Amino acid sequence: EPPAWAPGPAQAAALLEEAADLLVLHRDFAAAVERCEAGCDSLGPGPGPGHERCERFAEVKCSLCVVGIQALAEMNRWREVLSWVLQYYHVPEHLPPKVLELCILLYGKVSEPQVMLEVGSSWLRAHANQGLPEFGSLLELYVAQVLLPLGRFEGAEELVRGCGALGSERRLRCLGTIGESRCRWARRDETRSAAEERQDPAAETLLGVLSQKLLGMVTLLRRALRSMSNHFYLLPYKKMLLATFLLYLVVVRLDPASPTSLPFIYKLVQLFRQAWAAVLSPIHRPPIRD
């Protein structure tokens, strides 16, 4: 049974030290998270604003969350990080700057910036946070790691222009970064569009070649059916259709698992249906003689 830890910053600080040792020295990440959770729980609601213990309380709680975030990331449990942190701070506006910074960097690294979109926006809009010395740096980090990867260029420019914490030099530099990212985004879209346009003629050419193969196969099949119709007129047409379709798959050799083959298969099936109708139209079942 774990020991009964007494509440208060002193006991939380001792748990913080244990968690740091478990994280760095022993690399026991699960135990480190447990110590961090126990430390945050031992702090309770904490003293009110202006209390002499408030600063110490906030520092210990923030450090416990930082160690917990790193331990969760080491266990590849990064999806739990934001909800884990918010259970101790309840709303995004109350997150310490260091915790918000780590969350933005973590979700940016795993290419999930949308997770921090609303959280970062709420934190930056809070008036209590706009006077913090870290506000300007966090705004730049939010723009670079969240808004720009999501293509939110207008929102990024509006946020930077309306931020009084940024000096003129930093504002211009940040706006220049936004402009460069917008240009890269546009070039990437143009490259993608050009690649799609180049693929369309190639697809049509391939479709033409395949359709010619199919039509040639149908011509041979019509001749064979005409020669055999007097002998095999009792063979059900469904079996002939199945045999012809299997032959078509062998000749065409399309991979149905390939995404690029799906439009070809659809068009060729339409051609196949038309060709099959052409095969059957001139063939009549011979009359049964007495």
Q: What does 249-286 look like in DSSP terms, one character per residue?
A: HHHH---TTSTTHHHHHHHHHHHHHHHHHHHHTT--PP
Spatial distance between the Cα atoms of 159 and 21, rounded to a whole number of angstroms? 40
pLDDT-derived band at 192 (thresholds 50, 70, 90) equals confident
Burial of 47 (0-12, 13-18, 19+ CB in 10 A): middle
How many other C-beta atoms lie within 10 A of the C-beta of residue 166? Answer: 21
- Cβ–Cβ < 8 Å for 157, 178: yes
Query: Which residues span the domain enclosing 158?
Result: 8-163
Radius of gyration of the chain (CA): 34
Residue 184 lies in a domain: no
Please tell me the total count of domains within the chain: 1
| Structure confidence at residue 209 (pLDDT) | 62
| Structure confidence at residue 55 (pLDDT) | 83
Residue 208 lies in a domain: no
- The reply to whether the predicted model has a pTM over 0.75 is no
Residue 14 lies in a domain: yes
- Cβ–Cβ < 8 Å for 18, 46: no
CA separation, residue 32 to residues 5, 27, 42, 252 (Å): 16, 8, 15, 59
Average pLDDT of the residues of the chain = 79
Residue 278 lies in a domain: no
- Among residues 53, 43, 52, which one has the least CA distance to residue 7? 43
Is pLDDT of 217 > 90? no
How confident is the model over 68-102, as pLDDT tens digits?
Answer: 999 999 999 999 999 999 999 999 999 999 999 99
Q: What percent of the chain has pLDDT over 70?
A: 61
Residue 39 lies in a domain: yes
Residue 212 lies in a domain: no
Residue 29 lies in a domain: yes
Per DSSP, the residues of 166-226 read S-HHHHHHHHHHHHHHHHHHHHHHHHHHHHHHHHHHHHHHHHHHHHHHHHHHHHHHHHHHH
CA separation, residue 69 to residues 66, 84, 156, 244 (Å): 5, 8, 27, 62
**Extended strands (E) in 30-188:** none
Q: Which of 47-61, 68-82, 109-123, 276-290 has the lowest mean pLDDT?
A: 276-290
- Among residues 58, 68, 59, which one has the least CA distance to residue 38? 68
User: What is residue 121's DSSP assignment?
Assistant: H
Residue 125 belongs to domain with CATH number = 1.25.40
How confident is the model over 134-185, as pLDDT tens digits?
Answer: 999 999 999 999 999 999 999 999 999 999 888 899 999 999 999 999 999 9
- Cβ–Cβ < 8 Å for 119, 135: no
Is pLDDT of 258 > 50? no
The whole-angstrom distance between residue 208's C-alpha and the CA centroid of its chain comes to 37
Amino acid residing at 193: S
Residue 198 lies in a domain: no
